[in-house]
Amino acid sequence: MAGRLATGGPALGAGPLLGRRGLGRNADPLFALLTAAAGSTVLVILGFMILTTTMTALPAFQSQGISFITSTDWDPSAGRFGILAFIYGTLVTSAIAVILAVPLSLGVALYVTEAAPRRLRSPITYLVDLLAAVPSVIYGLWGVFVFLPLFLQPASAFLGRFLGFVPIFAGPSSGLSYFGAGVVLAIMIVPIITALAREILLTVPTEDKYAAYALGATRWEMIRGVVLPRSRVGIVGAIMLGLGRALGETIAVALLIGARPQISASIVQPGYSMAAVIANQFQEATEPHIRALVGVGVVLFGITILVNVGARLIVMRMERS
Amino acid sequence: MNDDNVFSVKGLDVHYGGAPALKGVDMEIGPRQITAIIGPSGCGKSSLIRCFNRMNDLIPGAVVSGEVLYHGSDIYAAGVDPVVVRRHIGMVFQRPNPFPKSIYDNVAFGPRINGFKGDLDELVERSLRRAALWDEVQNKLKKSALALSGGQQQRLCIARAIAVEPDVILMDEPASALDPIATVRIEDLMQELKKEFAIVIVTHNMQQAARVSDKTAFLYTEVDEETSARWGILVEYDDTSRIFTKPTDTRTEDYVSGRFG
Amino acid sequence: MSAADVPVPAEAGRTSGEVSVLGRRPARRRVWTDRLATAGLVAAVIMVLVPLGLILFTIARRGLATISWEFLTQPMPYSLRKEGGGLLNSALGTFLMVGLATVFSVPLGVLAAVYLAEYGKKNTLAGVIRFFTDVMTGVPSVFVGLFIYTALVAQIGFGALVGAIALSIIMLPIIVRSSEEMLRLVPSELKDASYALGAAKWQTVSKVVLPSALPGITTGVLLAVARAAGETAPLILTALGSFKIVTTLVGEPISALPLAILSGARNPFAAGQARAWAGALELLVIVLVFTILARVIASRSRISS
């Protein structure tokens, strides 16, 4: 017999083990169900997200037809909703942001992992991560009142004066433009790309790096020859993540892009983006206008998902090869 | 079949994902004695001991067949809940694994989840005393268990296991992660504990088995020439004195005399 | 010894003075390329840190000029042009909605993470959930706002509750993924010990796994809170904004700090703009406090483990 002490310990006889559900054991299947349900809410929310927005926007899609996404004629008062200019603006500002941010992010990540004195690595990383925490409305506020007069206006004027013959830099500029929004966007996505790139760079084995040094390579040659080729896949992933973030960014762009619903070839001219038009025009919009704005959101969502999923697939394929 | 036995094992087979790990083990574990399981590495010692409290169930792909009777009841019978089984059988692991909680909460964990309604303070003190740890920790019961030394943590794990008042304690290489002094204390503790508990200990340290145990089981690996599958079998199971001085099987003799290991 | 400490061999070749088989000029060019590259890297770091410094400096300077006890405790004046007043109503709105969002998203997110970590190793459902949770982290927050607008605001109007729901949807995937990672880090030996004592799975999870992962989970939650506090776009579409101090949850538009900052940024009047800067300082302090707190907890738990 199981030795039981007389002090009233747990009354667990060695008797029948068969068919006895232990204390609280019945809760196990319930618990599993509960957690599975919690996990499934993510799917449910995502599903509803797509459903209700698409259904709300449907009348707008139907009334405009394909011209919804092919026309640049956005005139809510006349009931015409062509969002091509916004799609263009989103893509242009994001492209500017990525083109500016990637070299900077890579530079910072490489500096922090390879070239910085040991004492500076943590502080720099910490500060750059802090940049990621700054809310976008603050970037917008600072962008409009400080960055605009300090840098964007002179820079746009400079580009206009010396490179104005090139169409993408043409025309007078108040600083509020694709370029203005794009530069601030770049500052915003640098921390994201840097953080990820840093992680990727840290996975390069040190032995390979030392092998390059042992052959007489300079640090830059080692970076080009060993570190960058090894990190290519991860860095592509990081860039696409930054791109995804840039596509969806709303407030900073809304304040700096100039709010002009037209396509312009010059990046120093004002324009508009999908997220920005939603944020700017929502509060005064009436019903058909609101439906059109929801439609803009649906298209934006579609593009963002494509970029995100596409990025994942590309990374997976690159990893396999 | 002597029903005084704590465990009676018949025809025990263990497979992991189709590959055999243990075949055809028959043995009996008697009460209030120490049974050691020895053998070269990879011969299935841990797999065997984990059958006694159905811990193998937690490994995906593990299949156990055969009979393991605990006081006459087959713990692998259909409808038996492994959670209930484990409440009767205590286990101590190779690396001390106290919870990141206070010393008190570690010992009280088992009783609490089993709905203990009596004097918890008293149960905790008694368990710590029986594990020879009370004197060292009585003034710091609320301190984190992780602040203890390795040997103390292992004794805490023993206290935690005996707090639920099992009648058998399984120990899977309990001292292999400890320094020699801590090891001696654990071995002394085992001699005390065997007055109340049956103890089954897996050890790769032959001298420890010889010092400590009353009966010894020697496991060895068998190999299938064609498939090069390897599994463990029970070669010999006898009083410790016999195993180490006059073993019946040559494989046992070779192992205990150190010809391989 | 780090990569930065390794001597650069090409330089040795340059100063040795002897005529190497490779000649001296290529070596010099390589050294200068390396120096240029390093300078480029440093330039990148400076170009990134300068805006950060500028932002922090500007907000501190302009914000501190306006911030005062009155600012922190007074609601917005009705007339945008008026001096004085404060952003109390916005701060309260932020606390209310972010607090509610936390209450909604943390239990849900942690339970979902438990499912993924404890039941989801080879499970198809878990794989699907994990994939779509990652997808959700990339959804633009303005779209989340549109969703709540179309799903709820059309029915029950603008207000704190729908704003909180929008924020909780933004927080949810962050909490799920970071909590899952933390739960996976709990060593299996602890779970073994718990099972060996006869604990059921739900007991092992709730009394051993979750407490062990708590510091890491808290870090993730704090970062999600910091993120939610700074979100503007979804609130434009759900909370709308207001001058008043609002305590009702449904049907009454409510302000939040980011909304107040946004309208202040668009405000032509100096007083309104000054309030925006002060609000930005307040919001930045809140966000940084949570972010730094999360870091501190994370590093503390790493030290003790």
Q: Would the CB atoms of A219 and C126 count as touching at under 8 Å?
A: no
Among all residues of chain A, which has the CA nearest to that of C13? A216
Name which of A85-99, A181-195, A223-237, B132-146 the model is least confident about.
Answer: A223-237
Enumerate neighbours of B (3 or more CB pairs within 8 A): A, C
pLDDT at C235: 94
Average pLDDT over residues A306-310: 87
Greater pLDDT, C23 or A141:
A141
| Four-point Cα dihedral B109, B110, B113, B117, nearest 10 | -100
**pLDDT tens digit sequence for A130-139:** 888 999 999 9
> Which candidate from A31, A127, A131 shows the least CB-CB separation from C201?
A31
What percentage of chain B carries pLDDT values higher than 70?
98
Domain total of chain A: 1
Chain A nearest CA to B151, separation (Å): 27
C295 close to B (CB below 8 A) = no
Q: Which residues partner with B92 through β-bridges? A: B171
B109 close to C (CB below 8 A) = yes
Answer yes or no: are the C-beta atoms of A132 and A195 closer than 8 Å. Answer: yes
pLDDT at A75: 87
Q: Would the CB atoms of A17 and B118 count as touching at under 8 Å?
A: no
Architecture of domain C72-304: Orthogonal Bundle (1.10)
pLDDT at C98: 96
Tell me: pLDDT of C7 over 60. no
Q: Measured between beta carbons, which residues in chain B are less than 8 angstroms from residue A3?
A: 165, 167, 196-197
Tell me: pLDDT of B27 over 60. yes
Average pLDDT over residues B180-195: 91
Chain A nearest CA to C70, separation (Å): 22
pLDDT band, very low/low/confident/very high, at A15 (cuts 50, 70, 90): very low
> Which candidate from B88, B114, B118 shows the least CB-CB separation from A7?
B118
Angle between helices C270-304 and C88-118 (to 10 degrees): 30
Greater pLDDT, B114 or C14:
B114
Cα separation, B95 vs B212, whole angstroms: 20
pLDDT at A138: 94
Specify the DSSP element, H or E, that contains C264: helix C257-266
E-only strand ranges, C99-199:
none
Tell me: pLDDT of A18 over 60. no
Average pLDDT over residues C206-233: 94
Q: Is residue A155 part of a domain?
A: yes
Mean residue pLDDT across chain A: 85
**pLDDT tens digit sequence for A79-127:** 888 889 999 999 999 999 999 999 999 999 999 998 888 898 889 988 8
Chain C nearest CA to B84, separation (Å): 6
pLDDT at A70: 87
pLDDT at A87: 93
Q: Would the CB atoms of C190 and B97 count as touching at under 8 Å?
A: yes
Tell me: pLDDT of B1 over 50. no
Give every CB contact of residue C205 below 8 A, 6+ residues apart in sequence: A31, C114, C118
Tell me: pLDDT of B3 over 70. no
Tell me: pLDDT of A67 over 50. yes
Token representation of residue C54: 């500028």
Give the CATH number, domain containing residue A278: 1.10.3720.10
pLDDT band, very low/low/confident/very high, at C261 (cuts 50, 70, 90): very high
Q: Which residues partner with B14 through β-bridges? A: B22, B64
Query: Which of B142, B158, B46 lies closest to B101, judged by CA?
Result: B142
Specify the DSSP element, H or E, that contains B74: strand B73-74
Average pLDDT over residues B127-131: 93
For chain C, the structural domain boundaries read 3-66, 72-304
Q: Would the CB atoms of B73 and A17 count as touching at under 8 Å?
A: yes
Domain that holds residue A260: 85-282
| Torsion sign over Cα C231, C233, C237, C242 | positive
Tell me: pLDDT of B18 over 70. yes
Q: Would the CB atoms of C192 and B93 count as touching at under 8 Å?
A: yes
For chain B, the structural domain boundaries read 7-256
| Four-point Cα dihedral A233, A238, A244, A247, nearest 10 | -110
Specify the DSSP element, H or E, that contains A78: none
> Which candidate from B83, B85, B99 shows the least CB-CB separation from C193?
B99
Mapping DSSP to helix (H, G, I), strand (E, B) and coil, where does residue B235 land?
strand
- What is the Cα C157 distance to its own chain's centre? 28
Cα separation, B17 vs B244, whole angstroms: 35
Greater pLDDT, C25 or C40:
C40
- What is the Cα C192 distance to its own chain's centre? 35
pLDDT at A185: 95
pLDDT at C14: 46
Cα separation, B163 vs B31, whole angstroms: 18
Q: For B7-256, CATH number?
A: 3.40.50.300
Query: Which of B187, B185, B229 lies closest to B211, judged by CA?
Result: B187
Tell me: pLDDT of B150 over 50. yes
Cα separation, C74 vs C263, whole angstroms: 17
Tell me: pLDDT of A68 over 60. yes
Cα separation, B202 vs B34, whole angstroms: 11
Count how many Cα atoms sit within 13 Å of the Cα of residue A281 in the half-sphere of its side chain. Answer: 28
pLDDT at A9: 30
Token representation of residue B146: 């992780």
The size of the A-C interface in CB pairs under 8 A is: 286
Q: Would the CB atoms of B113 and C199 count as touching at under 8 Å?
A: yes
Q: Measured between beta carbons, which residues in chain C are less than 8 angstroms from residue A138?
A: 55, 59, 230, 261, 280, 283-284
B99 close to C (CB below 8 A) = yes
C198 close to B (CB below 8 A) = yes
- As for the ipTM of the complex, it is 0.89
Cα separation, C95 vs C104, whole angstroms: 14
User: Which candidate in B52, B56, B70, B83 is best for mutational testing of the C interface (most C CBs within 10 A)?
Assistant: B83
